[in-house]
Chains A and B, each alone.
Chain A
């Protein structure tokens, strides 16, 4: 490239002279490109010998011809057999029977008799036009020896050159021409029916993975958006208490959920009692909830006593909600099983309801733990802010150091527990004391390094961690994830759903968060200025702005998932890929072709559908 100044006052002539330096540069760039491509040819073993080799070309032709005839439709076939008596070698005085009646197909061998292994010409007359099939030589052992394939012309005649087999016999032997004629309506092959079943599985695999992926990717994307997370900061005391509060609150939430579960299991034996419990819990949640969360806040901040009693009411509501969820789950399980027995061919609906119940039953503990963690850590964080604002400076420093050490030790201890599980150190005292000490030291370091007014950028820390996890998850393809999930849940479409879901979360989380980062900041500022909370700001200023790009990216991901789900079966993830892989390995190219055809049709249809949807929605 010429590096001539592009000023308008310079005449264009100066551009023509390339300096020696730029010539050398260009020359070496060319040499470099030459070397790069030469090495690339070597590494990827580009070979024109292979392309031109007749053997390879013959196999390619065979495969392409097989693929061109996908095993989709079949006909009933009628076999028509035409026979000719021959003597091999010639017998004196032997007589060959005349062809039956004129108009019937018949065969003629020239010469009429010959020695074994001698060349002959076989001709056929009066065959169905354009019929084809094999011609056999049948010795007295009745083992068919193939002479060749024939194909009749428009006049119903054919002619093949071939050799007689080494089967000498004094008696008359037979040459047979067999034609197969399609009759009746075509019907789908076994392969086609299997392919249809698997393609349905594939489409639903993609659907479930996309839906689950979206549900989890949307909240994750907010944590991975820098513009939302940058503002979130907290003083050291508040942050340390919040960190300490999470595991304690989660543990408490899980324990409480366990108690409620035992309590609810006593009631679930009796359906009437279950319904009554469900209703009572619902009423309690509704009325107490209305009181604890009034629809409009008062003019003045409510008194401390009022706020505390509302908090207590919230706890009661939360407990009632856990109870309600357990009841709902057990009702769903029972009702689902009942439906499964009664519905006959629609029993999958019942199975779905009872699966939902079981999933809910499992999730309640998780929900309770998360709610407990969030509530307790939020409470402690407020306490931390209060400490930070009311304590004198020196005391804040002391509190920061103590809380920082405790929080650091807690995080390090949990990390050590995780590592211990993974690597099986089996030396608890050393692992835990050392990690607790290191964590505490780090916590103290952070506390000492932060001055009083400094707020710790919690949001950026969370953002960085989320981004890192998303990048790692995204870097590993779904086809590899499925191997891990196959170990966990077994070979089949469920493993594929889980693997695709995981990859969808990572990919969409990143794409979504970039959309959040590119929204207009003005509305955010305006909504914040009205006194809205952070969640309200997201709901009213962020979400309306990101709906169109989110829908657009979701459709794009749906496209990708449909295509991914067609090959995820290669690694055991269910769907049509499993069948395709099997047929390719069995060299059954006509069956594989049917599956490839199905994939092409489905992907094309989904593509049209998503284009239509995009036009409608965005």
Chain B
């Protein structure tokens, strides 16, 4: 159970990126986060695992306030929260397998992993995850030799290596074409349904939201402007979220 209470983030330049945002996400939910570019979606997701330090407010995860944890304790929380990125964020020159194994870094002993040694069962696990996303044959290739869709699947496999209870997906399909977008979203849906992993996914297209999410929250200039089921977004709500001049495309 994720509970966000009055979360506020003000960047060093004085930009108010999140303004008193509160919501709950029960375990096993597929929660979409929508809003215009710059509305604070990325900041929100990064505040949840403290890649960005929130200025005020609380993030309770399994009833622990993670905004108050030390760096070392935070590592133990982060390893249970997988993250998928818009630009995949793979290490280009490393092999696909090494990129996937990086998902285990929170679990393996820091000293051994510095020597690039992973336990055998972790390597087997990595191959299983690659198999699951259908690119086991690419394991030995360099990550930047893969196409965009394949790279995002590596990103998902890396997140799965963490045995996550929650996955934060920051516009996972925004750099992909519509066909690939659906294929990636289906993997996330599968992980959500089969493994019961909570998914928080920021999205641009409303048709994707309708197709995959059980719930939507919307941000506008850092404020939470909508929280409800995808079907509840009518034209009136749409204008509140995206502004008066926006036109619906999806």
A residues within 8 Å of B by Cβ?
293-297, 301, 385, 389, 520, 522-523, 525-533, 535-536, 539-541, 544-545, 547-548
A388 to chain B, nearest CB (A): 9
Q: Cβ of A529: which chain B residues have Cβ within 8 Å of it?
A: 49, 51, 78, 81-83
From B70, B93, B155, give the contact of A545 (CB < 8 A): B93
Contact (Cβ within 8 A) B94 A540: yes
- Decide if B128 is an interface residue (CB 8 Å cutoff): no
Cα separation A225 to B98 with both chains bound (whole Å): 25
Q: Cβ of B113: which chain A residues have Cβ within 8 Å of it?
A: 536, 539-540
From B75, B87, B104, B112, give the contact of A522 (CB < 8 A): B87
Contact (Cβ within 8 A) B93 A547: yes
For B108-132 the 0/1 string (1 means CB < 8 A from A) is: 1111111011010010000000000
B85 to chain A, nearest CB (A): 6
Contact (Cβ within 8 A) B112 A295: yes
From B89, B105, B109, B116, give the contact of A295 (CB < 8 A): B109
From B78, B117, B119, give the contact of A531 (CB < 8 A): B78
For B45-59 the 0/1 string (1 means CB < 8 A from A) is: 000010100000000
A435 to chain B, nearest CB (A): 34
Contact (Cβ within 8 A) A293 B109: yes
Cα separation A414 to B75 with both chains bound (whole Å): 36
Subset of 7 A-B contacts with CB under 8 Å: A523-B89, A523-B90, A525-B85, A526-B85, A530-B162, A539-B116, A541-B102
Q: Cβ of A527: which chain B residues have Cβ within 8 Å of it?
A: 91, 102, 105
Contact size class for B?
35 or more
- Decide if B103 is an interface residue (CB 8 Å cutoff): yes
Residue of B nearest to A547 (CB): B93
Contact (Cβ within 8 A) A532 B106: yes
Cα separation A547 to B93 with both chains bound (whole Å): 9
Q: Cβ of B162: which chain A residues have Cβ within 8 Å of it?
A: 530-531
B118 to chain A, nearest CB (A): 9
B199 to chain A, nearest CB (A): 15
Cα separation A296 to B105 with both chains bound (whole Å): 9
Q: A528-B51, A529-B49, A544-B93 are in contact. Are A297 and B109 (CB under 8 A)?
A: yes
Q: Cβ of B85: which chain A residues have Cβ within 8 Å of it?
A: 522, 525-526
Q: Cβ of B108: which chain A residues have Cβ within 8 Å of it?
A: 295-297
- Contacts A296-B107, A301-B76, A523-B92 given; 11 further ones with Cβ under 8 A? A295-B109, A295-B112, A295-B117, A522-B85, A523-B91, A527-B102, A529-B49, A531-B75, A531-B107, A539-B113, A541-B102
Contact (Cβ within 8 A) B93 A526: no
Contact (Cβ within 8 A) A532 B102: yes
Cα separation A294 to B117 with both chains bound (whole Å): 12
Cα separation A532 to B102 with both chains bound (whole Å): 8
Contact (Cβ within 8 A) B78 A540: no
B11 to chain A, nearest CB (A): 14
What are the 6 tightest A-B residue pairs by CB atom distance, in nearest-first order?
A: A531-B106, A531-B79, A522-B89, A526-B89, A532-B105, A531-B78
- Decide if B158 is an interface residue (CB 8 Å cutoff): yes
Residue of A nearest to B77 (CB): A531
Residue of B nearest to A538 (CB): B114
Cα separation A530 to B68 with both chains bound (whole Å): 19
A533 to chain B, nearest CB (A): 5
Interface of A (DSSP majority class):
helix
A285 to chain B, nearest CB (A): 13
Q: Cβ of B122: which chain A residues have Cβ within 8 Å of it?
A: 296
Cα separation A295 to B111 with both chains bound (whole Å): 8
Q: Cβ of A293: which chain B residues have Cβ within 8 Å of it?
A: 109, 111-112
Interface residues of B in 160-203 (CB under 8 A from A): 161-162
Contact (Cβ within 8 A) A536 B51: no
Q: Cβ of B103: which chain A residues have Cβ within 8 Å of it?
A: 530
Residue of A nearest to B69 (CB): A389
Contact (Cβ within 8 A) B102 A530: yes
For B231-243 the 0/1 string (1 means CB < 8 A from A) is: 0000000000000
Residue of A nearest to B155 (CB): A526
A44 to chain B, nearest CB (A): 49
Contact (Cβ within 8 A) A536 B76: no
From B90, B106, B114, give the contact of A530 (CB < 8 A): B106
Cα separation A85 to B105 with both chains bound (whole Å): 101
A374 to chain B, nearest CB (A): 14
From B70, B76, B105, B112, give the contact of A385 (CB < 8 A): B70
Q: Cβ of A295: which chain B residues have Cβ within 8 Å of it?
A: 108-109, 112, 117, 119
Q: A526-B83, A529-B49 are in contact. Are A540 and B106 (CB under 8 A)?
A: no
Q: Cβ of A294: which chain B residues have Cβ within 8 Å of it?
A: 109
Q: Cβ of B93: which chain A residues have Cβ within 8 Å of it?
A: 544-545, 547-548
Contact (Cβ within 8 A) A530 B109: no
Q: Cβ of B155: which chain A residues have Cβ within 8 Å of it?
A: 526
Contact (Cβ within 8 A) B51 A540: no
Residue of B nearest to A521 (CB): B89
A228 to chain B, nearest CB (A): 15
Contact (Cβ within 8 A) A531 B105: yes
Q: Cβ of A545: which chain B residues have Cβ within 8 Å of it?
A: 91-93
B98 to chain A, nearest CB (A): 7
For B214-231 the 0/1 string (1 means CB < 8 A from A) is: 000000000000000000
Cα separation A242 to B81 with both chains bound (whole Å): 31
Cα separation A535 to B109 with both chains bound (whole Å): 12
Contact (Cβ within 8 A) A536 B110: yes
Residue of B nearest to A234 (CB): B71
Cα separation A389 to B70 with both chains bound (whole Å): 9
Q: A293-B112, A536-B114 are in contact. Are A541 and B91 (CB under 8 A)?
A: yes
Contact (Cβ within 8 A) B107 A526: no
Q: Cβ of A525: which chain B residues have Cβ within 8 Å of it?
A: 51, 85, 89
Which of A293, A296, A541 is most buried by chain B, counting CB atoms within 10 A of its CB?
Answer: A296
Q: Cβ of B76: which chain A residues have Cβ within 8 Å of it?
A: 301, 531
Q: Cβ of A547: which chain B residues have Cβ within 8 Å of it?
A: 93
Residue of B nearest to A529 (CB): B83
Contact (Cβ within 8 A) A540 B98: yes
From B77, B81, B90, B104, give the contact of A526 (CB < 8 A): B90
Q: Cβ of A296: which chain B residues have Cβ within 8 Å of it?
A: 107-109, 119, 122
Residue of A nearest to B52 (CB): A525
Q: Cβ of B161: which chain A residues have Cβ within 8 Å of it?
A: 530
Cα separation A369 to B87 with both chains bound (whole Å): 44
Contact (Cβ within 8 A) B75 A533: yes
Cα separation A530 to B117 with both chains bound (whole Å): 17
Residue of B nearest to A386 (CB): B70
Cα separation A547 to B110 with both chains bound (whole Å): 21
Q: Cβ of B158: which chain A residues have Cβ within 8 Å of it?
A: 526, 530
Q: Cβ of B104: which chain A residues have Cβ within 8 Å of it?
A: 530
B101 to chain A, nearest CB (A): 9
Q: Cβ of B109: which chain A residues have Cβ within 8 Å of it?
A: 293-297
Cα separation A483 to B92 with both chains bound (whole Å): 46
Cα separation A280 to B74 with both chains bound (whole Å): 39
Cα separation A522 to B83 with both chains bound (whole Å): 12
Which of A295, A523, A525, A529 is most buried by chain B, counting CB atoms within 10 A of its CB?
Answer: A529
Q: Cβ of A540: which chain B residues have Cβ within 8 Å of it?
A: 91, 94, 98, 102, 105, 113
Cα separation A535 to B155 with both chains bound (whole Å): 21
Cα separation A557 to B236 with both chains bound (whole Å): 65
Q: Cβ of B49: which chain A residues have Cβ within 8 Å of it?
A: 529
B182 to chain A, nearest CB (A): 23
Residue of B nearest to A532 (CB): B105
Cα separation A536 to B51 with both chains bound (whole Å): 16
Q: Cβ of A522: which chain B residues have Cβ within 8 Å of it?
A: 85, 87-89
B57 to chain A, nearest CB (A): 14
Q: Cβ of A544: which chain B residues have Cβ within 8 Å of it?
A: 91-94
